[in-house]
Amino acid sequence: MTGHLRTALVAAVAVATLVFANAAFAANTATVSVWHTPMVLAGSDSTTIHVSIPQATDAIAAINIFVPSGYGATLGQAAGTSIGNVDATALAHDGGLTLPLSGPVTTEDPAKHTTDACSPGTNAAVWNMNLSVAGQTLVVPIYVNPTAGPAAALDPESLLGKVMGNPPVAPAVANRAAWRRAEIPAANGHGNARSVARVMTALACGGTLDGVRLLGAESLSDATEEQWFGKDLVLGFPVRWGLGFMLAHPGLPLGPSPRAFGHGGWGGSLGIADPDARVAWAYVMNKMTPGTTGDSRAAAPVVALYASL
């Protein structure tokens, strides 16, 4: 969802809870990215919220979005105000059809939604996603509220707080010379899609690239052997880990091969190796987002890749 959702300065960390009615979202595998354009403090023109949800997951009720100290959301617009646009893709289970949905996001009077089954009582704001396709419009309300209780702040002493907030880094930092000069393990390797795919090609081909062995077969076997399979305490969803690589599993398919492996990069990039097909692929976006677990836009190129084999 993209729109002119201007932020207002507040004294403390503001947290919004977005409740999506009748949505097949999964807390363990869905990803949420939020970014400003331009990515500057207190001077952005618009805010984009990107939600990606695998089809075969359980439903959830709420999404918490944490924002830096000094930021909040403007929730007092008059009913009927257009605050942005939504572009979505939905799966019609009955017919197996993929439907492109789009339309404006408008504000609604919260007083009209106090008896809604999805979010009874008074909400700070209600935003309607007016999703249209083939001349039909589906209105999906988003219930927006400040989060209260333990979830209202990211505990700096928690594992997640120590990993993601020590210190907090905005995506725009990745384009600065100081960041690129620094040596930060597992964080600031730089390359385009071609170079990432070339590295992964060596892994997909048993450690050899252009006739030169770069990695021993035994080392590669050890690196792609399952070490742990369960909920990752930082990422918040189930991951099957090798030694540094994410390994494919039913909840996180990385292609048609169950032996595929790889990793997501900061901003939405992906690098995957498929040893069965001896194929590697990479997705690198033009615009950084805060996510580190990939981008749903990579799906279409991957489908086209395997269709061409």
The distance between the two most distant Cα atoms of the chain, rounded to a whole number of Å, is 69
Residue 140: which H helix or E strand, with range? strand 136-146
170 located within any domain = no
Is residue 125 located within the same domain as residue 205?
A: no
Is residue 148 located within the same domain as residue 197?
A: no
230 located within any domain = yes
Whole-model pTM: value is 0.53
Q: Which of 96, 125, 153 is the last residue of a domain?
A: 153
173 located within any domain = no
Amino acid 286: pLDDT: 81
3-state secondary structure 236-267: CCEEEECCCCEECECCECCCCCCCCEEEECCC
Print the domain residue range for 249.
193-307
Is residue 201 located within the same domain as residue 124?
A: no
169 located within any domain = no
How many Cα atoms are found within 13 Å in the side-chain-facing hemisphere of 142? 20
Is residue 8 located within the same domain as residue 148?
A: yes
Is residue 125 located within the same domain as residue 25?
A: yes
CA 306/CA 253 separation, integer angstroms: 14
Amino acid 17: pLDDT: 25
Is residue 10 located within the same domain as residue 134?
A: yes
Is residue 220 located within the same domain as residue 281?
A: yes
182 located within any domain = no
Amino acid 59: pLDDT: 64
Is residue 115 located within the same domain as residue 229?
A: no
Domain count of the fold of the chain:
2
Q: Which residues pair with 130 in a beta bridge?
A: 139
Amino acid 19: pLDDT: 27
Is residue 8 located within the same domain as residue 149?
A: yes
Amino acid 8: pLDDT: 25
Contacts of 204 (CB under 8 A, 6+ apart): 273, 274, 275, 277, 278, 279, 280
163 located within any domain = no
Is residue 23 located within the same domain as residue 114?
A: yes
181 located within any domain = no
Q: Print pLDDT tens along the chain (309 aa).
A: 433 332 222 222 222 222 222 333 333 466 777 777 776 655 667 778 877 777 766 666 677 776 655 566 788 899 999 999 988 887 776 667 778 889 999 999 999 988 887 777 888 899 999 998 878 898 989 888 876 655 555 666 667 667 766 666 666 777 788 888 888 877 778 889 999 999 999 999 999 999 999 999 999 999 999 999 988 877 767 889 999 899 998 877 888 889 999 988 877 888 999 999 999 999 988 876 656 666 677 778 888 888 898
145 located within any domain = yes
Is residue 147 located within the same domain as residue 242?
A: no
Is residue 139 located within the same domain as residue 212?
A: no
Amino acid 98: pLDDT: 79
